[in-house]
Structure 1
Amino acid sequence: MGLPNQDRCLLLESDQMTLAALFDGHGENGHVVADRALRDLPFRLLKSTTNKVEQRIRESFLETDASPEIQTVTDGGTSAVIAWRIGTKVYLASTGDSTGMLVKYQDGTSEVVLEALKHKPADPLERARIEAVGGIVLVPEDSELTSRVLYKTRLGEMALAMSRCIGDFDGKAPGYLIAEPSIVAKDLSPALGGGNSFYYLVVASDGLIDEIDQDVLLTKLGNALKKGVGLSKLVKQLLDDAQRSWSVKMMGAYRDDMSIVVTRLRI
């Protein structure tokens, strides 16, 4: 029996603010953690009275991870990525390995101008942090495979393909995993001015991103957003393409959960 869909995502928009968020759960109860994080993290982010935006983001991630609703879940965790526009400034924040991008479209070309950091166990700083507390990082010889951090759970040994996450307290206890987000930001005000260009946000889980060429994905999304029609049909086509890729790779036996949120910024 397969696991339930473990991805959760949302999109909130107003004249002054855009918030796209995605949570990609993993483990036996990853869907529970992702669902609770979806309900908790954006609420904490938007209700915070802290004036410093990056501090608001950091506290929202860490407080969500420490909340009783998350702490009581065993054998599960989730990545978390947000794309948050306030006025003309865009913030991308992540813990884990999901994708967040700010993209500029101009004259038929889509260019990534800001990308959320991904946390893989083999990344030099992440590996050093894990090994400093006695953890083990597996780095496969095949470059097509991802590195993993090992830790024990009540169900046996877990080999997790990310070094940061929300939940996964069996890996948090020895210090291998952390929930600390990485945050990057860009002010779009100097680049605004109309013409044939615009910006859009993408947040997506690796089940889709790893199976579709990024240039193809962004070109198709940019063209659909430019026309202002056909985005829903295109997204379904992209998901179907990724599904076929998974079927070939895994001989029909498995596919990862696949989710994407796309929105054009109207500043």
Structure 2
Amino acid sequence: MGSCISTVSFTSGSSSSGGGGGGGERRSSSCFPLRSHRNKRTKASFSKQIINLEQLPQIPNQIFTNGKSRTSCIYTQQGRKGINQDAMVVWEEFVSEDAIFCGVFDGHGPHGHLVARKVREALPLKLLSFLQSQESTGNDAGSNCFNRKVKTGSGDSLASVKDSPSEDPYLSLWSDAFVKSYKAMDKELRSHSTVDCFCSGSTAVTLVKQGLNLFMGYIGDSRAVLGSRDSSDSIVAVQLTVDLKPDLPREAERIKRCKGRVFALQDEPEVQRVWLPFDDAPGLAMARAFGDFCLKDYGVISVPEFSHRLLTERDHFVVLASDGVWDVLSNEEVVEIVFMAPTRSSAARVVVESAVREWKLKYPTSKMDDCAVVCLYLDGKMDSESEPEELSISAATNHSYHSQVNESDDGQNPAESSYLQRNFTVRSAEDSNLVSGTAIEIVEGGEGGSEDHNWLGLEGVTRVNSLVQLPRFSQERANT
């Protein structure tokens, strides 16, 4: 258990952090690979589409640094904890001309920035690979090139889609692709030896928009929110994902069944954390993550929740963001900021700047978290509209299709209302109570932490997802 567990890429080449460039193949607008071409042609076409990470900056229609595309804008800003551990990507024409992949990844721990970047680079390719392999097998679900419209109702679960022969297996196909790609991603992180992610990891919130379908997979507490209009024509915020943290009863129950412990420290009672069964470490503030292999035997998993939503003409944009945004801005505030942004291409930047101001106002003694935002406009336009009129902003309940793909005995509705609005993992200095004798080593950003650094509740707010860098304890202690 004390061995070095690290990240991996597809090849020995490493990718740069530049934006998307030219080159690469243009994929068919209908489907790929076609069932009628299964054989050597399929294999040749498939091998060309699995792009090695060394060529990532040359993938057409992809951006992963501050900027805009034809349909989206993205922006990130470093906090005050060291290196920026957030990463993001938008990939247009992902599986077809009308498909867009978006993702936000929030690293944590001493090497979290490296984990987040590796996931950003490799996860979309893995999802693409599994979608292509589903198509190339020639099953009925994949025969229409992933372009069919899902007709499940808002209350359907994945189990009902799988178990009922009358239901279209289309959703199961997409769910399997997300689950398999996340599993393969975590497996590669575990097996490589470049970066230690024994107690470092990353969240992920990813979606594919294809036609009127939104397919989403996510772990951790990064979040996706939809800006839509209600029956009174007001812009409302619809939360599309759930913050998968230890304060969710179903997540805590799984962790406890695996002998992990869930509790909050006395000076931050609002933050439930995951701890080893035999040591008060590492204090992870999420229930699912890539990496964090010190806790993978104790209930922390990388299996994503899968969601589907069928879009309507009332739906206008989707915002994906890391918890540095959601800690200080509500869903409604973010939707209003995007809707009222002076230009569409500046919306992500305006959200980040608003979050930065809120950090300074609400938590002046804090170390501000990194912020990353992706704004995807569902009509496929960028800065072609007139200035938006002022509309009222109100809350809305998410009625989209949700499924917890790894647990069928859960029985819980993922959209528990008490967990939708704020992450509640920021502690104010005034509300913190000093715990006598408590000294916790803190890991900030990618810089690591000093071994003699003591963290105390009254010293201000420090937003970290993992409180302690886990010591390399002996295997004998782990077995006791």
Taking the aligned partners of 1:69 and 1:3, their CA distance within structure 2 comes to 25
Q: Which consecutive unaligned segments of at least 5 residues does structure 1 have?
A: none
Taking the aligned partners of 1:24 and 1:219, their CA distance within structure 2 comes to 23
Give, as a single letter, the amino acid of the residue that structure 1 aligns with 2:379: R
CA RMSD across the alignment: 2.8
1:178 alignment counterpart: 301
Per-residue deviation, 1:202: 1.2
Taking the aligned partners of 1:122 and 1:43, their CA distance within structure 2 comes to 32
Give, as a single letter, the amino acid of the residue that structure 2 aligns with 1:58: V
Q: 1:187 aligns with which of 310, 319, 326?
A: 310
Question: Is the alpha carbon distance of 1:37 and 1:152 closer, same or farther for their aligned partners in structure 2, counting shifts above 3 Å?
Answer: farther
- Looking at secondary structure, tell me which structure has more strand per residue: 1
Per-residue deviation, 1:246: 2.3
Larger displacement relative to structure 2 (37-46 or 47-56):
47-56
1:148 alignment counterpart: 273
Give, as a single letter, the amino acid of the residue that structure 1 aligns with 2:310: D
Give, as a single letter, the amino acid of the residue that structure 2 aligns with 1:216: E
Taking the aligned partners of 1:153 and 1:46, their CA distance within structure 2 comes to 40
Taking the aligned partners of 1:256 and 1:152, their CA distance within structure 2 comes to 29
Question: In structure 2, the residue corresponding to 1:8 is in which secondary structure?
Answer: strand
1:214 aligns with 2:335: no
Q: Is the 8 A contact 2:317 2:377 kept in 1?
A: yes
Question: Is the alpha carbon distance of 1:86 and 1:32 closer, same or farther for their aligned partners in structure 2, counting shifts above 3 Å?
Answer: same
Per-residue deviation, 1:110: 2.6
Question: In structure 1, the residue corresponding to 2:299 is in which secondary structure?
Answer: coil
Question: Is the alpha carbon distance of 1:178 and 1:184 closer, same or farther for their aligned partners in structure 2, counting shifts above 3 Å?
Answer: same
1:11 aligns with 2:90: yes
Q: 2:247 aligns with which of 102, 107, 122?
A: 122
Give, as a single letter, the amino acid of the residue that structure 2 aligns with 1:221: V
Q: Which consecutive unaligned segments of at least 5 residues does structure 2 have?
A: 1-79, 135-141, 143-172, 381-480
Per-residue deviation, 1:88: 1.6
2:282 alignment counterpart: 158
1:59 aligns with 2:183: no
Q: Is the 8 A contact 1:101 1:112 kept in 2?
A: yes
Taking the aligned partners of 1:29 and 1:216, their CA distance within structure 2 comes to 32
Give, as a single letter, the amino acid of the residue that structure 1 aligns with 2:262: V
Task: Percent identity, please.
Answer: 26
What pairs up with 1:69-88 in 2 under 5 angstroms?
A: 71-72=192-193, 73-74=196-197, 75-88=199-212
Give, as a single letter, the amino acid of the residue that structure 1 aligns with 2:108: H
Aligned residues: 255
Q: 1:99 aligns with which of 223, 236, 242?
A: 223
Question: Is the alpha carbon distance of 1:138 and 1:65 closer, same or farther for their aligned partners in structure 2, counting shifts above 3 Å?
Answer: same
Report the TM-score when normalising by structure 1. Answer: 0.84
Taking the aligned partners of 1:147 and 1:171, their CA distance within structure 2 comes to 15
Q: 1:236 aligns with which of 349, 358, 370?
A: 349
Question: Is the alpha carbon distance of 1:216 and 1:251 closer, same or farther for their aligned partners in structure 2, counting shifts above 3 Å?
Answer: closer
Report the TM-score when normalising by structure 2. Answer: 0.49
Taking the aligned partners of 2:328 and 2:343, their CA distance within structure 1 comes to 21
Q: Is the 8 A contact 1:100 1:115 kept in 2?
A: yes
Larger gyration radius, structure 1 or structure 2:
2
Question: In structure 2, the residue corresponding to 1:28 is in which secondary structure?
Answer: coil
Q: Is the 8 A contact 2:104 2:206 kept in 1?
A: yes
Q: For 1:201-257, what per-residue CA distance to the aligned partner results, in whole angstroms no more than 9, with x for missing partners? A: 211001012211321220221244xxxx52344433332332233234543451111
1:26 alignment counterpart: 108
Per-residue deviation, 1:34: 0.4
